[in-house]
Amino acid sequence: MTPSFNPRRACASAFRLATALGCGVALSALLLAVGPVAAQGPAKARAPAEPIITGGKPQRLIVNPTEDPSRGFAVTWRMEAGAGKGLVEYAEATPGPAFEDAVSTVMATSEVVQYAPRNGAPVSATAHSAVIDGLKPETLYVYRVGDGRTFSAWRQVRTAASTAKPFTFLYFGDVQNEVESHGSRVMRMARRLAPDAALALYAGDLINRSDADREWAEWFDMAPDLHAELLTLPSPGNHEYGPPVEGRQALAPQWRQQFTLPRNGPAGVEALSETVYQVDYQGVRFLSLDADAMSDHPELAEATLTWLQARLADNPNAWTVVFLHYPIYSTAKGRDNPELRAALEPVLQRYGVDLVLQGHDHTYARGRKGGPVYVVSVAGPKQYPAGQDDWASRKATGVQLFQAISVDGGELTYKAYTATGALYDAFRLSKPARGKPARLIDLAPKSDELNLRRAP
């Protein structure tokens, strides 16, 4: 996506790293070329009002993983301003309501938050977050959130197994525009075709304008059941960043107030807290990278690469998945990122990363160039023309997709579906042993590639 709010990206931003941080390759620059920019016009005289939090009921409920998802999970929600305390009640799930006799309570951390968006009325609310830990592995729990008087419905979430076991996760590219009206059908189809999925990954650009609280409301409303019951792992895109504050790109304040993510990124680097993080889940290491922060700040890029190499070098898991917003191999016309590729690809290849999941280009492509399998996907309606995609084995434009990825021992099976539920792409990675390269078996349907992009 081209950032509508940031004309400086009409020129590429560049920075230098002194070394390849252990790769033995000097890097002259890491330049993220993000394509043509639509200049921000003047605000409309009568912008739509931002939502006002009323009614006293919990909103924007979401579960995120802790660093050890076999022992706990994090819950975040918000209520009207001045709602006071927040708490979570939870118990091991039972077939009937008997669990209510064994409920435990955790008090939330609460904060009154205020947003002053560029367009629309100011918003105030109370943000709550809580971490539930000390749980049993591989166990289904029920939970609800509230203030002691008013509560959400009971929700269910399962802790991970403490060892490698089969599971399925979902991956979504950019939703970004018309989030509830168009994005919601993709989410519903994903739940229908992968009802047992345990995790949901988002590769950035969840919304379009970082400070538009009504867009964040749409994002939560497009998939309330998914967000409340599947551990959600988001990675920020450029549209989660707004205009610079004191010379630094500003992450949407909603990010850390709406998500409670592992704080295990680069030590002491608060700017990367809860955007660069690691989750180990049943034999898979998931690593989120903040591509926009890397593009704008050399010191954050260096910190990220140092952290990434350390997490890859000391990795007991059989599989490794990296997800970030900007593609290492691009699919849309005029949007290639050769310097990003030069910085990251040697690290990903050296440590045997299996899968790299990306967004940003509003097209679909999947390919492999001697190392990880790279995927670019899009879940929303905004679509770009195809471009540099000679690296791709399967591609599409003008198509909304989601991906269901299953891991079972030495096999990882990837399936990409359209919004109508049709299988569009598939492959299997077969790994004889941990640390060995995976063999790719192409399982893509024999159907024609889709080019359904509407004329602008």
In a domain, 361, yes or no: yes
Residue 369 C-alpha from the chain's centroid: 24
Same domain flag for 219 and 349: yes
pLDDT, position 266: 98
CA dist., res. 426 & res. 411, Å (int): 13
In a domain, 60, yes or no: no
DSSP E strand boundaries for 191-331: 199-202, 231-234, 241-245, 248-251, 277-281, 284-288, 319-323
Q: For residue 438, what are the CA distances in angstroms to 88, 312, 319, 345? A: 42, 16, 10, 17
Q: Tell me, what amino acid is at 198?
A: A
Of 158, 188, 223, the last residue of a domain is: 158
Place of tokens 């002053």: 116
Same domain flag for 105 and 23: no
Same domain flag for 137 and 236: no
Tell the burial category of 39 from Cβ atoms under 10 Å away from its Cβ (0-12, 13-18, 19+): exposed
pLDDT, position 131: 98
Of 158, 175, 204, the last residue of a domain is: 158
pLDDT, position 295: 87
CA dist., res. 306 & res. 20, Å (int): 9
Same domain flag for 280 and 293: yes
**Token pair recorded at residue 210:** 């970082």
Same domain flag for 429 and 408: yes
In a domain, 106, yes or no: yes
- How many structural domains comprise the chain? 2
CA dist., res. 260 & res. 248, Å (int): 23
Phi, psi at residue 201, to the nearest 5°?
Answer: -105, 140
Q: What pTM value is reported for the model?
A: 0.89
In a domain, 246, yes or no: yes
**Parent domain of 302:** 7-38+162-442
In 3D, which of 327, 385, 334 has the Cα closest to residue 360?
327
Same domain flag for 152 and 176: no
**Token pair recorded at residue 389:** 């995609």
pLDDT, position 378: 98
Same domain flag for 148 and 170: no
pLDDT, position 53: 56
pLDDT, position 34: 38
Residues 6 or more apart whose Cβ sits within 8 Å of residue 417: 189, 190, 193, 401, 402, 403, 404, 423, 424
In a domain, 194, yes or no: yes
pLDDT, position 328: 94
pLDDT, position 334: 75
Same domain flag for 148 and 184: no
CA dist., res. 376 & res. 119, Å (int): 31
- Crossing angle between the packed helical segments 298-313 and 338-350, to the nearest 10 degrees: 20
In a domain, 65, yes or no: no
Strand partners, 373: 355, 368
**Token pair recorded at residue 99:** 């669990």
In a domain, 61, yes or no: no
Same domain flag for 89 and 234: no
Same domain flag for 388 and 361: yes
CA dist., res. 321 & res. 348, Å (int): 10
CB atoms within 10 A of CB 165: 15
Tell the burial category of 47 from Cβ atoms under 10 Å away from its Cβ (0-12, 13-18, 19+): middle
Same domain flag for 241 and 323: yes
In 3D, which of 408, 441, 407 has the Cα closest to residue 425?
441
In a domain, 53, yes or no: no
Same domain flag for 242 and 97: no
Average pLDDT along the chain, 456 residues, taken 10 residues at a time: 34 37 39 36 41 73 98 96 91 99 98 82 91 99 95 98 99 97 98 98 96 93 98 98 82 95 97 98 98 90 97 97 96 81 94 97 93 97 86 95 98 99 99 83 96 84
Here the CATH number for the domain that contains residue 25 is: 3.60.21.10
pLDDT, position 30: 45
Of 158, 191, 210, the last residue of a domain is: 158
